[in-house]
Structures are given as C-alpha cells and as structure tokens.
Amino acid sequence: GAGVSQSPSNKVTEKGKDVELRCDPISGHTALYWYRQSLGQGLEFLIYFQGNSAPDKSGLPSDRFSAERTGGSVSTLTIQRTQQEDSAVYLCASSFSGQGSYGYTFGSGTRLTVV
C-alpha cells in the first residue's frame, strides 16, 4: 500500500483480556518499529524488527507484551491480561533500512482503551 496501515483504529477492551494490534508496513521497508504514546507524552519505543534479525525487545514494558513479524511484512503486537495503564495509542512505523539514517513512516495508530 501507499502508507503504513494499522488496525483496528480504535479498540476498547476489558481489563484482563488479551488484545492484538496489527501493522502492515510499506512494501519493501525492511525495518518495522512499535512505539507507545500515552496521553500528553512522547513516543516510547517498544520493539524493533530488522529483516531476518532477532528483534530488539528492549523497550517492552513487561512480559505481557509480545510482538511478531511474519514473512518480513505484517506485524502483530499482543498485549496479554490488559491493565488500565496499557491504555494509549500504539504506533507502528516502517523504514527502508534499520541501519543508516532514514526517516520513519508512521501509521495512524491504534487507540487502546482498557476499561
């Protein structure tokens, strides 16, 4: 597609439920990133995929968070046993290369609300 596509755009879930957020990056982009944006806060790095390399999971806040990227394309971020503090906008971005200096293209995000 022309841009980074994220789904759903909005998700309301009950505390304790699991959720899956999807990201479809720009075709040909080898790097994919997940960030979290809490209300009034900056962008918090979560996880990064680059080609076939092992992902950089250093930003994941707890073991309830996990992500995978299948076939070097679509990525799914999973949050298990959601808590109210997980409420935020989850942003996905892709870039041409993880190395070097290339700007990211962000999707519009998934707004997650845990009630």
Q: Within positions 25 to 84, which residues make up the interface with other proteins, using CB under 8 A?
A: 31, 33, 35, 41-43, 45, 48, 50, 53, 56, 59
User: Rounded CA gap, 34 and 109, in Å?
Assistant: 10
- Contact (CB, 8 A) for 76 and 67: yes
- Does 101 engage in binding with other proteins (CB under 8 A)? yes
Q: Which stretch binds other proteins (CB under 8 A): 12-20, 71-79, 80-88, 103-111?
A: 103-111
Reduced to 3 states (helix: H, G, I; strand: E, B; else coil), residue 92 is: strand
Task: Give me 87's structure tokens.
Answer: 């409420």
* Paired strand residues for 94: 32, 105
The residues that touch other proteins, with contacts defined as CB under 8 A, are: 4, 31, 33, 35, 41-43, 45, 48, 50, 53, 56, 59, 91, 93, 98-99, 101, 103-109
